Chain A
Amino acid sequence: GNSVTQMEGPVTLSEEAFLTINCTYTATGYPSLFWYVQYPGEGLQLLLKATKADDKGSNKGFEATYRKETTSFHLEKGSVQVSDSAVYFCALSEMDGNTGFQKLVFGTGTRLLVSP
């Protein structure tokens, strides 16, 4: 089946450092790819998405490029802030073979801790 693999956390950075959170996937076909962010005690918020190869999703200074050749969707930010501390989830869309219904497959999440 389809799967998403994220780097183990926590990722600990100082403010204004460069961020990379790795995400690779295994999938049949060409799924859409998503990054979600979860702040403490809250639900998930969509951060960005990409729907086809070479697409770049971006939002709030975060970027990720859909790399079909390496099956990757790494999240990057040039200068992190303390307020970016959260858990980040990579996900892909897949179709349920029985119902034809779209579901998301999530990675296990990567915690980011940014210190002043």
Chain B
Amino acid sequence: DGGITQSPKYLFRKEGQNVTLSCEQNLNHDAMYWYRQDPGQGLRLIYYSQIVNDFQKGDIAEGYSVSREKKESFPLTVTSAQKNPTAFYLCASRLDRGRNQPQHFGDGTRLSIL
């Protein structure tokens, strides 16, 4: 079955540590996205990528970094510069063929601070 796989489902970070969240899709989608979701709130865009080796900052990119070396993979690194990283992180992808195409989401990674 085609879909988006995020791993791990739960992740714990120590102070001063960088952690990387994995996102893999086998939908052959062009575009990929990372969102942050805080309790009781909507989704905020961290980074997005339209094609391989290209990505753009979203609304809350500070303290995060990404790479897009392969079409199917878009890992997110939460750096030690992100002072409040505890949140639910969602990865999404989309076939970039006009405005009507929806985004498809993974099941998320919940990041907590030790």
B107 in complex: contacting residue of A43, A99, A106, CB < 8 Å: A43
Query: B104 and A46: CB pair below 8 A?
Result: yes
A101 in complex: contacting residue of B42, B48, B92, B106, CB < 8 Å: B48
Known: A89-B42, A99-B56, A109-B42. A104 touches B107 (CB 8 A): no
B102's nearest neighbour on chain A, judged by CB, is A46
Chain B nearest Cβ from A58, distance in angstroms: 15
Query: B100 and A99: CB pair below 8 A?
Result: no
Q: Type the 1/0 row for B3-33, where 1 means its CB is closer than 8 Å to any CB of A.
A: 0101000000000000000000000000101
Query: B99 and A43: CB pair below 8 A?
Result: no
- Asked if B43 lies at the interface with its beta carbon under 8 angstroms from chain A, I say yes
Chain A, range 78-116, C-beta contacts under 8 Å to B? 89, 93, 95-96, 99, 101-104, 106-109
- Which 8 A-B residue pairs are closest in the complex by CB-CB distance? A43-B105, A108-B42, A44-B105, A51-B100, A43-B107, A93-B99, A46-B102, A106-B42
Interface residues of chain B, those whose CB is within 8 Å of chain A, are 4, 6, 31, 33, 41-43, 45, 48, 50, 56, 58, 90, 92, 94, 96, 98-108
Jot down 22 A-B pairs with beta carbons below 8 A, ordered by A. A32-B100, A41-B108, A42-B108, A43-B105, A43-B108, A44-B43, A46-B102, A49-B100, A49-B102, A101-B56, A102-B31, A102-B94, A102-B96, A102-B98, A102-B99, A103-B33, A103-B45, A106-B42, A107-B42, A108-B42, A109-B41, A109-B42
